[in-house]
């Protein structure tokens, strides 16, 4: 990777996207001036404390400590850089629309300048760029605007930044789009220049398509359970078709995270606001909600009433290699189990701190084996690699009951059955214990 000095940039918002973007551009040779309104976060970052769990991020931030500058003072970034990458949150509102208040706070904070550009990394509805350009024009600010949506995945974010499938740049063909292209040009990735609205839509459509693929295979899994087919074999057969591909064909207990649920709803809402009824996305969302709850039915099928039963949850984060709990399936699952009278013990290798903020009434264990002690049933919620190493005979020996619900089809069914467990996957035929 090049370490030649390159143009300095500003990054506004130092969350998952902002911090990875900052560290990534520092790795490519830029001085990066990071701004956040969260003073405690900025003070921590100055001391080298990384507020999120993302593999490789702390090493990269430490490696480029001399290129990464942290401040709560926007002028620090404006003085040093022309391009200001915006990576503030755009969470859903009650209506399902994206909450753009943080984005607008950034826009409003910009001074008049014709030598700066906002580069939007945050996921925003199609048309947001046009609105911001109109605001800049009304306020006589002269700012340029570029849409540069982010496609990184938590858990592999550094790799995704440095080796993206593509870089999408939506701009008006002015200096700012060229400057953003120049920054990314050292990466071995196709750079797609287009208009701003199309770039905004690429991001929403990509996430909606991936979410659709997940809900599709989950529905296939549910039909497999009725017909006796095995969804793992079905996905293997489907995935070999070039037109389909093997990715996002893993059946499970639903998608979560900070992006898919919010972006699918935002696209549905965006269409609805303009009078178009996006039927397919309604189904994608509904299937996902039902899928999170299917575990309850599986538990009840084997155990009847869950009142007083102890259920161990292995994994809480919305996926492995992250501590992100936003919209995690474990939130719905734990709430439903508690409502049905069950006791929950739970273990997650890194997300416990975040989980404690969102889940109450759960006993947090310090290891997977601690969590399963005395459990009537175990549910694998997140496919953390360490769970594949579990000695299932030891697990079975510690449990009071024998039911294992593998919510991600992650564990070895044969090994579970050999250990004396009753194995329930998602979309897999039930096999009797020997
Ligand atoms: P985040 O919540 O982790 O971080 C947002 C940061 O912005 C916080 O540190 C917050 O303090 C800061 N902030 C808020 N208002 C600010 C302001 N006015 N000025 C300066 N800083 C401010 O969010 P995230 O997960 O990094 O997501 C950011 C955006 O990127 C969202 O639009 C999201 O949809 C999109 N995105 C996220 C991912 C992902 O995997 N997390 C992937 C692709 C795109």
Of 340, 324, 350, 320, whose CA–CA distance to 410 is shortest? 320
Ligand 1 pocket residue status of 90, Cβ below 6 Å: yes
For residue 48, what pLDDT is reported? 94
Last residue of a domain, one of 194, 221, 250: 194
Q: What is the pLDDT of residue 4?
A: 59
Work out the percent of the chain whose per-residue pLDDT is above 90.
Answer: 96
- If asked whether residues 174 and 219 sit together in one domain, one would say no
Q: 127: burial class by Cβ within 10 Å (0-12, 13-18, 19+)?
A: middle
Is 49 a domain residue? yes
Read off the pLDDT of each residue in 28-35 and give the average, rounded to a whole number. Answer: 98
Q: Which two tokens stand for residue 210?
A: 């991936």
Cβ(122) – ligand 1 distance below 6 Å: yes
Q: Report whether residue 144 contacts ligand 1, using a CB cutoff of 6 Å.
A: no
Q: Does 77 reside within a domain?
A: yes
Same domain for 132 and 255: no
Task: Assess whether the C-beta atom of 221 lies below 6 angstroms from ligand 1.
Answer: no
Q: How far apart are CA 352 and CA 105, in angstroms?
A: 32
Q: 203 in a domain, yes or no?
A: no
Domain that holds residue 338: 209-424
pLDDT mean over 23-47? 98
Question: Mind listing the pLDDT tens digit for each residue in 319-349?
Answer: 999 999 999 999 999 999 999 999 999 999 9
pLDDT at 97: 87
Per-residue model confidence (pLDDT) at position 2: 46
Residue ending a domain, choose from 194, 223, 241: 194
Report pLDDT digits (tens) over 235-255: 999 999 999 999 999 999 999
Of the residues 34, 126, 148, 259, which is catalytic? Answer: 259
Q: Which is the closest atom of ligand 1 to the Cα of 153?
A: 40
Whether 328 maps to a domain, the answer reads yes
Atom of ligand 1 lying closest to residue 122 CA: 32
Q: Is 329 in the pocket of ligand 1 (CB under 6 A)?
A: no
34 is catalytic: no
Closest atom of ligand 1 to 52 CA is 3
Beta-carbon count within 10 A of 199 CB: 22
pLDDT (tens digit per residue) in 381-413: 999 999 999 999 999 999 999 999 999 999 999
The reply to whether 202 falls in a domain is no
Q: Which atom of ligand 1 is nearest to the CA of 263?
A: 34
Q: List, as one string, the DSSP characters of 145-199.
A: EEE------TTSHHHHHHS-S-EEEE--SSHHHHHHHHHHTTSSS-EEEE-HHHH
* Torsion, CA 318, CA 319, CA 323, CA 327, rounded to 10: -10
Q: Which of 10, 12, 13, 317 to mutate to test the pocket of ligand 1 (most atoms within 8 A of CB)?
A: 13
Number of domains observed in the structure of the chain: 2
- The structure tokens listed for 190 are 């196709």
Contact 147, 170 (CB under 8 A): yes
Residues 135 and 106 in one domain: yes
Instruction: Report the run of H or E that residue 136 belongs to, with start and end.
Output: helix 128-138
Three-class SS state of 111: coil
Q: Within a domain: residue 37?
A: yes
311 and 379 both lie in a single domain: yes
Ligand 1 atom with the smallest distance to the CA of 258 is: 41
Mean pLDDT of the chain: 96
Write the CATH number for 262.
Answer: 3.40.50.720
What is the enclosing helix (H) or strand (E) of 68?
Answer: strand 68-71
Q: Give a yes or no: residue 382 inside a domain.
A: yes
Q: Which residues contact 29 (CB under 8 A, 6 or more apart)?
A: 2, 3, 4, 5, 6, 186
The answer to whether the CB of 54 is under 6 A from ligand 1 is no
* Domain presence at residue 200: no
Ligand 1 pocket test target in 150, 156, 203, 321 with most atoms within 8 Å of CB: 150
Report the pLDDT averaged over residues 118-132: 97
Among the listed residues 59, 55, 69, the one whose alpha carbon sits nearest the alpha carbon of residue 22:
69
Q: What is the dihedral of CA 153, 155, 160, 165, to 10 degrees?
A: -50
* Any ligand 1 atom below 6 A from CB of 14: yes
Residues 50-100: pLDDT tens digits? 999 999 999 999 999 999 999 999 999 999 999 999 999 999 998 888 999
Residue 217 and residue 163 share a domain: no
Q: Whose CA is nearest to atom 23 of ligand 1?
A: 89
Per residue in 303-318, pLDDT (tens digit) is 999 999 999 999 999 9
Q: Is the CB of 38 under 6 A from ligand 1?
A: yes
Per-residue pLDDT, 125: 95
pLDDT: which is higher, 99 or 430? 99
CB 388 within 8 A of CB 411: yes
Q: Which of 142, 163, 194 is the last residue of a domain?
A: 194
Regarding whether 307 and 350 lie in a shared domain, the answer is yes
The atom number, within ligand 1, closest to the CA of 105 reads: 18
Q: Is 379 helix (H, G, I), strand (E, B) or coil?
A: strand
* Same domain? 219 vs 317: yes
Domain match, 303 and 399 both: yes
Give the CB-side neighbour count of residue 162, counting CA atoms within 13 A. Answer: 15
* Structure confidence at residue 434 as a pLDDT band (50, 70, 90): low
Tell me, yes or no, whether 174 and 220 share the same domain.
Answer: no
Q: How far is CA 421 from CA 177, 376, 381, 383, in A?
A: 58, 11, 17, 18
* Residue 378 beta carbon below 6 angstroms from any ligand 1 atom: no
Which of 219, 249, 253, 210 lies closest to 233, judged by CA?
249
Ligand 1 pocket check for 123: Cβ under 6 Å? yes
Q: Which residue of 12, 17, 76 sits with most ligand 1 atoms within 8 Å of its CB, as the best mutation to test the pocket?
A: 17
Candidate of 19, 88, 326 to mutate for ligand 1, largest count of ligand atoms within 8 Å of Cβ = 88
189 and 220 in a common domain: no
> Does residue 248 contact residue 209 with C-beta atoms inside 8 Å?
no
Pair (101, 182) in one structural domain? yes
Regarding whether 225 and 188 lie in a shared domain, the answer is no
299 class by beta-carbon count within 10 Å (0-12 exposed, 13-18 middle, 19+ buried): buried
Q: Tens digit of pLDDT for each residue in 146-200? A: 999 999 999 999 999 999 999 999 999 999 999 999 999 999 999 999 999 999 9
């Amino acid at each position: 990777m090049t370490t030649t000095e390159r143009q300095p940039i500003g990054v506004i918002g130092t969350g998952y996207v902002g911090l990875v973007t900052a560290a990534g551009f520092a790795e490519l040779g830029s001085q990066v001036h990071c701004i956040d309104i969260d003073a405690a976060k900025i003070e921590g970052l100055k001391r080298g404390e990384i507020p999120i769990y993302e593999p490789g991020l702390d090493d990269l931030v430490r490696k480029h400590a001399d290129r990464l500058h942290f401040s709560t003072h926007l002028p620090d970034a404006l003085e040093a850089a022309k391009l200001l990458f915006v990576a503030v949150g755009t969470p859903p509102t009650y209506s399902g629309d994206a909450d753009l208040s943080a984005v607008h706070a950034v826009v409003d904070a910009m001074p008049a300048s014709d030598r700066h550009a906002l580069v939007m990394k945050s996921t925003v509805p199609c048309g947001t760029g046009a609105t911001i350009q109109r605001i800049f024009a009304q306020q006589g600010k002269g700012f340029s605007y570029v849409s540069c949506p982010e496609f990184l995945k938590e858990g592999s974010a550094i790799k995704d930044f440095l080796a993206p499938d593509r870089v999408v740049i939506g701009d008006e063909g002015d200096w700012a789009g060229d400057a953003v292209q120049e920054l990314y040009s050292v990466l071995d990735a196709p750079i797609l220049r287009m208009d701003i609205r199309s770039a905004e839509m690429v991001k929403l459509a990509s996430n909606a398509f991936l979410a659709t693929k997940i809900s599709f295979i989950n529905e296939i899994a549910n039909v497999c359970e009725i017909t006796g087919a095995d969804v793992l074999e079905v996905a293997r057969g489907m995935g070999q078709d070039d037109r389909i591909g093997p990715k996002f064909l893993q059946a499970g207990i639903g998608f979560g995270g900070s992006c898919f649920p919010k972006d699918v709803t935002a696209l549905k809402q965006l269409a609805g606001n303009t009078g178009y009824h996006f039927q397919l996305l309604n189904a994608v969302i509904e299937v996902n909600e039902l899928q999170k709850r299917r575990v309850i039915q599986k538990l009840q099928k084997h155990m009847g009433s869950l009142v007083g039963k102890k259920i161990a949850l292995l994994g809480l984060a919305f996926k492995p290699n992250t501590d992100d709990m936003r919209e995690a399936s474990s939130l719905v699952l734990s709430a439903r189990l508690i409502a049905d009278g069950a006791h929950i013990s739970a273990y997650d290798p890194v997300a416990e701190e975040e989980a404690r903020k969102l889940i109450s009434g759960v006993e947090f264990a310090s290891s997977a084996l601690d969590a399963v002690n005395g459990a009537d049933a175990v549910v694998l919620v997140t496919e953390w690699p360490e769970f594949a190493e579990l000695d299932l005979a030891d697990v079975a020996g510690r449990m009071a009951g024998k039911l294992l619900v593998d919510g991600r089809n992650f564990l070895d069914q044969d090994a579970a059955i050999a250990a004396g467990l009753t194995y329930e996957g998602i979309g897999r035929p039930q096999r009797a214990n020997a």
